[in-house]
Amino acid sequence: MRLARIETSDGPVTGQYQDDVVHTADGTYEAGIDGNLLLACEPSALYCVGRNYAETLEQMEYERPEEPDFFIKSPASLRGHRLVDPLSRVELTYAGELAAVIDEPYHDLSEDEVSEVVRGYTIMDDVDALDQQGRTARKAFDGSGPLGPWIETDIDPTGIDMYTYVNDERRQEANTELVLSDPYEIISYLSKRFTFRPGDVVAFGSPANPGLIKPGDTIEITYENIGTLRNPVVGANE
Q: What is the pLDDT of residues 24-48, one digit of tens each?
A: 988 999 999 999 999 989 999 999 9
Domain count, the chain: 2
Instruction: Inform me whether the pLDDT recorded for 86 exceeds 60.
Output: no
Could you tell me the residue range of the domain that residue 177 belongs to? Answer: 39-235
Whether residues 82 and 141 share a domain: the answer is yes
Q: Is pTM beyond 0.75 here?
A: yes
Can you give the CATH number for the domain in which 14 is found?
2.30.30
Query: 10 and 64, same structural domain?
Result: no
**One domain, residues 141 and 172:** yes
pLDDT at residue 26, rounded to an integer? 87
Lowest mean pLDDT among 113-117, 131-135, 155-159: 131-135
Peptide bond into 149 cis (omega under 30): yes
Same domain membership, residue 182 and residue 101: yes
Asked if residue 175 and residue 94 are part of one domain, the reply reads: yes
